[in-house]
Amino acid sequence: MIYTTIESPLGELLLAGDGEALQRLDMRGGRRPVQIAPTWRHEDDAFADVIEQLRGYFDGRRREFDVELALAGNRFELRVWEALREIPYGQTVSYGQIARRIGEPGVARAVGLANGRNPIAVIVPCHRVIGADGTLTGYGGGLERKRLLLDLEAGVLPLGAGAGGSPDRESQ
């Protein structure tokens, strides 16, 4: 696995994959940060296109991502994650709405669990899923980061301002 890290308005982000397809995008300060295995290889220039797209997103210039992903999960999780990718920028849906979209209206809790296992934050926009009553509910990166992302997409934050400006590549 190849990885790099960048600074972002969400704090440090870890990007990992095979160098072509992204397999992980994790917030290092989240509740369960991914541990970098001793076999992983750090490359400063890895995922340059992904980093550029993330910069555009955090600067308010990009609303969609064109990134090769290699999502690994069970069939149910993959269906949920695909449904997440269909939520338009700046919009939110409930767990129940996702359950109905995938043709299983009674599995909102299971959707929540799959949402929590999403390995690619921001790009697979699990932050756009909220409670049925409109409240912010669980987010691996913490509710303050979820609010920041939703505010960014709603245009509440000034362009390029999200809690620290646009991400810069971290030197290691």
- Domains of the chain, first to last: 2-58 (3.30.160.70), 75-154 (1.10.10.10)
Count CB neighbours of 70 within 10 A: 13
Hey, which residues are catalytic here?
126
Mean pLDDT, rounded, for 4-15: 93
Residue 63 has pLDDT above 90, yes or no: yes
Residue 1 has pLDDT above 60, yes or no: yes
* Residue 90: per-residue pLDDT: 92
Average pLDDT, the chain: 87
* Residue 16: per-residue pLDDT: 96
* Residue 168: per-residue pLDDT: 37
Per-residue pLDDT tens over the stretch 13-35: 999 999 789 999 999 876 677 88
Q: Which long-range contacts (CB under 8 A, 24 or more apart) does 42-49 make?
A: 42/2, 42/3, 42/4, 42/172, 43/2, 43/3, 43/4, 43/19, 44/4, 44/169, 44/171, 44/172, 45/4, 46/2, 46/3, 46/4, 46/15, 46/17, 46/19, 47/4, 47/15, 47/17, 47/19, 47/22
Mean pLDDT, rounded, for 64-86: 96
Q: Give dist(CA 135, CA 65) in Å, integer.
A: 26
Per-residue pLDDT tens over the stretch 103-162: 999 999 999 999 989 999 999 999 999 988 888 887 777 788 889 999 999 987 655 544
